[in-house]
Structure 1
Amino acid sequence: MTAEADAFLGGRLRLSQPPRGAHRAGTDAVLLARLLVPQAGDRLCDVGAATGAVGLACAALTPGLQPTLVERDPILAEQARANASLNGIAAQVLVADVLAPATERRAAGLLPDSFDVVLTNPPFFAAERHRASPDPGRAAAHTFAGGDLETWIRACTAILRPGGRLGLIHRADALPACLAALAGRYGGLAVRPVHPRGDAPAIRVLIAAIRGSRAALSLRPPLVLHGPDGSFTPEAEALHRGAPWPAP
């Protein structure tokens, strides 16, 4: 654990993380946590939780929410437990690999149709197409060690109830692969591109989807993270403080 916890959401959440240079939660986690608006009674699962940033951020903004955090690395899972305790959040932490066979996932506590909301930041790269980081934790967070995006989405779908909501963040150039993995399983997709600057191509896409829906896809207004001076735009700054997405 780091000696001092990082402040998230304008200080509403404190998060102890691995040292700098390793994989650490930041803007991606904030944006994913604000993508959907859970209710206190929702069963919410953060898949690939690492130190718990996304699920714990949702709980910090929704009193009474008791998230489930799923992480395959036992060390990171223990950090997630400590972060939940640090923030007084009643979270369940499961050490489980979502890419494992279904019997192993169930044995670890990931039961079918058991969540109302699933949020996930899948690994961004296939092992054969990406030179992994020398840091083991960073490599595990960014690169599939086995399986692929299709397998990951299929596992997330298995634990989401029919009519439940999925939220994910990925690289912008992975949008076709994301849509292909969601096809036939989800409808009502809402896609929001995220740009580093107003004059730059998108670097991320946020996708919200409803399991089993037949509703059409919609493209939401883009989010621009930084202004010409490099500081956060007002919209990005507000999201980092825990405000909801700006109205379309």
Structure 2
Amino acid sequence: MIHNIEHTTLFNGNVTVYQPEQGYRFALDSVVLAAFTPAKDHQTVLELGIGVGAASLALAFQHPNITIHGIEIQTDIIPITQKNIDANGWTNRFKVFSGNLTTRLVDGHYYDHVMMNPPFFEGHTYTDSPYAHKTLSHGESDGLLKDWIHEAHRALKSRGYITIVHTARRLDEILSLLTEKFGGIEVFPLWPKLGTPAKRVLVRARKSVNSPMKLHAGLVLHQEDGTFTPESAQIIHQGQKINAI
């Protein structure tokens, strides 16, 4: 049980988020993941590894009529996730399940979208955190990246979207795994500053389509003084979607 919880908000106070004071804490990745997920009204979304729910909460704010399911292996995190859902008044739009990647949430249920922020580090390539839930979130232990993508494919409807935020250094692996079962792959780099290598990438693809891959110009996150660029500030502070054409 996690006892020390802090309160914060997204989108200028419009979305309430509770999270542990120490250990795993949501970051900008959650917001850009939601911004790049192309949900539409009345669609269904599954988030694998929902954590405290920040990405799903951001998506729910952007799309008031979608239904979201989440799966989380860390049972002590789920009460915080549910607290966030209740605090925002979205209990009728969310369901959170405890389980690992092979858990079938609803037998025979398929989703329009699956989004995910999988652990960035391969097994045995990272230093354990003093906080077990942070270690589990950062490093592959319960499932490899290929397992996350396999489960997303299984859960999606035909022509449904998978949307991923991940470290840029594993982009080649992500593309290799996606091309086995997905098409219409889109890559959207996130540049820390103008002229610097991307550290994060957003990737989305569609099940059962054969469209060619598209490489977007991406988004520069920070200006030289460290503040957000006007474009990224609208996404991070206002909840604007990423308009990738």
TM-score class, shorter = over 0.9
1:110 shift after superposition: 4.9
Pairs within 5 Å for 1:213-232: 213-232=209-228
Aligned to 1:238: 234
- Counterpart residue number, 2:130: 134
TM-score for the superposition, normalised by structure 1: 0.92
Match of 2:95, as an amino acid?
A: Q
Name the CA distance, whole Å, in 2 between partners of 1:54 and 1:197: 23
- The answer to whether the 8 Å contact 1:113/1:158 transfers is no
Q: Matches of 1:40 and 1:190 in 2, distance apart? A: 22
1: CA distance, partners of 2:17 / 2:74 = 17
Quick one: distance in 1 between partners of 2:136 and 2:14?
Answer: 28
1:5–1:17 Cα contact (<8 Å) kept: yes
Q: Structure 1 residue 182: deviation in Å? A: 0.8
Gaps of 5+ in 2: none
CA distance in 2, matches of 1:237, 1:27: 11
Pick the aligned partner of 1:174 from 170, 180, 184. 170
Deviations 1:100-142 (A, max 9, x none): 4xxxx12xx2545611111100111122222222221110101
How far off is 1:5 after superposition?
A: 1.8
SS at match of 1:128: coil
| Residues 189, 159 of structure 1: alpha-carbon distance in 2 compared, 3 angstrom cutoff | same
* Aligned 1:117-196 pairs, distance under 5 A: 117-196=113-192
Q: Percent identity between the aligned chains?
A: 28
- Shift in Å at residue 179 of structure 1? 0.7
Distance 1:75 1:40 in 2: 31
Hey, what does 2:60 align to over in structure 1?
59
Change (3 A) 1:49 1:64: same
Residue equivalent to 1:7? 9
RMSD across aligned positions (CA): 1.6
Asked if structure 2 preserves the Cα contact closer than 8 Å seen for 1:40 and 1:63, the reply is yes
- The structural deviation recorded for 1:183 is 1.6
Q: Distance in 2 between matches of 1:194 and 1:118?
A: 20
C-alpha distance in 1, partners of 2:89/2:28?
A: 23
Residue 169 of structure 2: SS of its match in structure 1? helix
| Residues 115, 164 of structure 1: 8 Å contact kept | yes
Paired position in structure 1 for 2:201: 205
- Return closer, same or farther for 1:197/1:112 CA change in 2, 3 Å cut-off: farther
Quick one: which amino acid aligns to residue 242 of structure 2? Answer: W
Match of 1:94 in 2: 97
Which of 16, 19, 35 does residue 17 from structure 1 map onto?
A: 19
Secondary structure in 2 matching 1:34: helix
1:70-101 Cα shifts (integer Å, max 9, x gaps):
11111111111110000011310011101x4x
Alpha-carbon distance in structure 2 between the residues aligned to 1:187 and 1:114: 18
Question: Tell me, which stretches of 5 or more residues in structure 1 are unaligned?
Answer: none
More divergent stretch after superposition (128-137 vs 39-48): 128-137
Size of the aligned set, in residue pairs, is 240
Deviation at 1:247, TM superposition (A): 5.6
